[in-house]
Every structure is written in C-alpha cells, then in structure tokens.
C-alpha cells in the first residue's frame, strides 16, 4: 500500500467508523443517522478508482471491510439497554453488504470510466447501494434467513405495519430498507457534485 492512497484509506475508515456508531441512533421512524454517512463510502471508492485504478480502490474497500468488522466485533461486546449494541447477525449482514456492494461498485465503475464523467459514479453507486440495501436488511432481519444466527432475536423487525406508515402492510424491516434505499439514491445524485469538483481540480501524483 503506497502513501499516496492514505487519504482514501483514512476517509473510508472514518466513514465506516462513523456509520457503525450512528446506525444505533434513529432519525424519525424509518431511518438511522448512519444512512446519511455510509453512502459516502461509494464516493471514496469511486474517487480512488478514477485516480488510481480498480486495484487501489479494492485495497481501500478491503481496509474499510476490516475496520467495519472490528467495529462490529467491538459492538457485539458492548451491552446496551436491549442487549449488545451490534448483534452477530447484524454484524454478518453489515460486513456482507459492504464487501459485495463495494466490490461490485469498483467493477462497474472500471467498466464505465471511459464514458461520460457522471455515468461511472452514478451507475456504480446506484447498483452498489441497491445491492447493499437488499443484502443488509434481508440478512439482518428477514425471518426466512434466521438460520444466519438463530439466537439473535429480530422478531420486532417482522411486525406487520403499513409500508413507511402509508402503503400496504409489510414487515417493519421492509420499510426500514425502503427508507434507507431512498436516502442512498438521493445521496448518489448529491455526491456527483463533490466527485466532479474533486476530479477536475486534483490529479493523481
């Protein structure tokens, strides 16, 4: 790992740590504060990919994955009001979603990077964010996947409620997933502005 990649490594680590902390705090009924920080991991990955290539981006992703696993393991040992701050099942879901989605983002970005400037970051982030949401919420909360960690009680997530409080009845975790996905899509569009600004003003050393 070269010193030139250090800003990307530090940025990814900071986002992963912040997201692991903020995911414990609700913003309204359907979102955690972590939903507003985690999507910027895709911005870091895409910038590394643009400046230094897919191999460097994958290294930063792997470091972020390791940091995330460490944070999750620490969280499983800290007891909160309702049990561990991070359950084993949520830790598995978080690590799986992050790694698969980020590596997919790297591959899609690399395939599209020679097109219009916005195409690679937008498409890769939209696909990666969607995959991350599906993997995380289904692995963490779907009753059909309880075998992931049978002793984790996530029965609360299967409570039947109107989707986002307004739509058809669905398990609570589906509303959480849809709300999370909506934030990720919005931030994918917003992140195009800093992506364009940084890539036009900076050049790889």
Q: Which range is least confidently modeled, 58-67, 86-95, 159-168?
A: 86-95
Could you give the residue ranges of the DSSP H alpha helices within the chain? 6-22, 40-52, 54-76, 88-112, 119-141, 172-190, 192-201
Q: Which domain holds residue 22?
A: 3-201
- pLDDT the model gives residue 203: 64
* Interval 108-113 mean pLDDT: 97
Candidates 97, 51, 101; CA nearest to 204 is 51
Q: 3-state class of 27 per DSSP?
A: strand
For the domain that residue 63 is a member of, what is the CATH number? 1.10.1760
- For residue range 18-57, what is the model confidence (pLDDT) as tens digits? 887 777 677 888 888 888 999 999 999 999 999 999 999 9
- pLDDT above 70 coverage of the chain, percent: 94
The tokens for 88 are 């084993």
pLDDT exceeds cutoff 80 at 85: no
Q: 3-state class of 24 per DSSP?
A: coil
Number of domains in the chain: 1
pTM of the model: 0.90
């Amino acid at each position: 790992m070269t010193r030139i990649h250090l800003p990307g490594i530090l940025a990814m680590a900071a986002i992963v740590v912040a997201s692991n902390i903020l995911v414990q705090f609700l913003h309204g009924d359907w979102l955690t504060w972590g939903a507003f920080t985690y999507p910027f991991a895709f911005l870091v990955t895409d910038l590394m990919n643009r400046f230094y290539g897919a191999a460097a981006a994958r290294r930063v992703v792997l470091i972020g994955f390791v940091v995330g696993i460490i944070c999750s393991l620490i969280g499983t040992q800290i007891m909160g009001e309702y049990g561990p701050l991070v359950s084993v099942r949520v830790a598995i879901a978080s690590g799986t979603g992050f790694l698969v989605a980020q590596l997919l983002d790297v591959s899609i970005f690399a395939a599209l990077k020679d097109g219009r400037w916005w195409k690679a970051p937008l498409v890769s982030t939209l696909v990666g964010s969607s995959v991350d949401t599906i993997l995380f919420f289904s692995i963490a909360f779907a009753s059909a996947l309880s075998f992931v960690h049978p002793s984790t009680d996530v029965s609360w997530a299967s409570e039947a409620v109107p989707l986002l409080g307004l739509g058809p009845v669905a398990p609570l975790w589906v509303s959480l997933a849809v709300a999370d996905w909506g934030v990720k899509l919005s931030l994918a569009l917003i992140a195009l502005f800093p992506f364009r600004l940084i890539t036009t003003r900076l050049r790889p050393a």
